[in-house]
């Protein structure tokens, strides 16, 4: 038994109809085919699919809403497959057929323009994760190497957490800066009053303790839940429920259409 690559497939004798159909369907679906031959005659096929994450579109929207201006997909997949994924998601650029070194160069190139976040889950992503200003590894299904190289490890296999992490980080940073600036301003003001004799030492110490407590209470606002997505109105929720019901109705027909398409060309 031998596994056939693209070049070897061309020279195989007696290509059966089912093999041609499987190859055509795989190309349409953006899947990879590995044919197994016996004496140069196809005997079976392995169809390898890497489906788009269901939360990918939501993640892209939340990242752009949080201030991310440029989103680039860097992958080792073929150009056709990469564009099939990247175009519907509205990415700014798609780079395909990339080796680990090319992924590293892509991160370095983006860093010349702005701080860069790299998200990955494979061993090939580890160098780029380490090089990026912020590396985010999908720890639930990713490799140990990528998790160790990253700055942030998501413990759940849910890509939308990247957008939530970005929103939470921005909120925490804003609260921290607010607390620092307010605390320093009040302290400097108290020292100024003490320097001119308007604030006795005892009351100065009490005021300083009050400032510390106020800053700590303000910092506790970071524990509140931060919304990273839009709030839908009643009409929008009703529209989504209607679309969901319509999708359930036509799902069987869509599956039937795919079955019909698979049999095209078989006579």
How does pLDDT run across 38-71, given as a tens digit for each residue?
Answer: 887 778 888 887 777 777 888 888 888 878 889 9
Task: Determine contact, residues 6/33, Cβ cutoff 8 Å.
Answer: no
Q: What is the DSSP letter of 222?
A: G
183: enclosing H helix or E strand = helix 161-195
Quote the pLDDT of residue 105. 93
Residue 108 is predicted with a pLDDT of 93
| Phi (first) and psi of residue 68, to 5 degrees | -70, 120
Secondary structure string (H, E, C) spanning 122-171: CHHHHHHHHHCCEEEEECCCCCHHHHHHCCEEECCCCCCHHHHHHHHHHH
110, pLDDT greater than 90: yes
C-alpha 73/C-alpha 103 separation (Å) is: 10
């Amino acid at each position: 038994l031998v596994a056939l690559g693209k070049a070897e497939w061309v020279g195989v004798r007696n290509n059966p109809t089912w093999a041609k159909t499987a190859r055509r369907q795989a190309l349409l679906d953006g899947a990879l085919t590995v044919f197994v031959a016996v004496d140069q005659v196809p005997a079976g096929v392995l169809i390898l699919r890497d489906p788009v994450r269901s939360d990918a579109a939501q993640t892209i929207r939340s990242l752009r809403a949080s201030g991310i201006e440029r989103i680039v997909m860097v992958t080792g997949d073929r150009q056709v497959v990469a564009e099939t994924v990247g175009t519907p998601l509205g990415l700014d650029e798609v780079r395909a057929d990339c080796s680990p070194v090319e992924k590293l160069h892509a991160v370095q190139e983006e860093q010349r323009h702005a701080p860069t976040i790299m998200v990955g889950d494979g061993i090939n992503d580890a160098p780029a994760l380490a090089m990026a200003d912020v590396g985010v590894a999908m720890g639930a299904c990713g490799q140990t190497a990528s998790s160790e190289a990253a700055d942030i490890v998501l413990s759940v296999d849910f890509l939308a957490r990247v957008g939530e992490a970005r929103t939470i980080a921005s909120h925490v940073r804003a609260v921290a800066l607010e607390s620092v600036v307010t605390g320093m301003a009040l302290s400097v003001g108290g020292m100024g009053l003490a320097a001119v004799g308007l604030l006795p030492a005892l009351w100065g110490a009490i005021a300083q303790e009050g400032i510390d407590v106020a800053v700590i209470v303000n910092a506790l606002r970071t524990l509140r839940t931060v919304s990273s997505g839009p709030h839908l109105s009643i009409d929008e929720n009703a529209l989504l429920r209607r679309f969901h019901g319509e999708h359930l109705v036509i799902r069987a027909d869509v599956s039937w259409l795919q079955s019909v398409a698979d049999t095209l060309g078989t006579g």
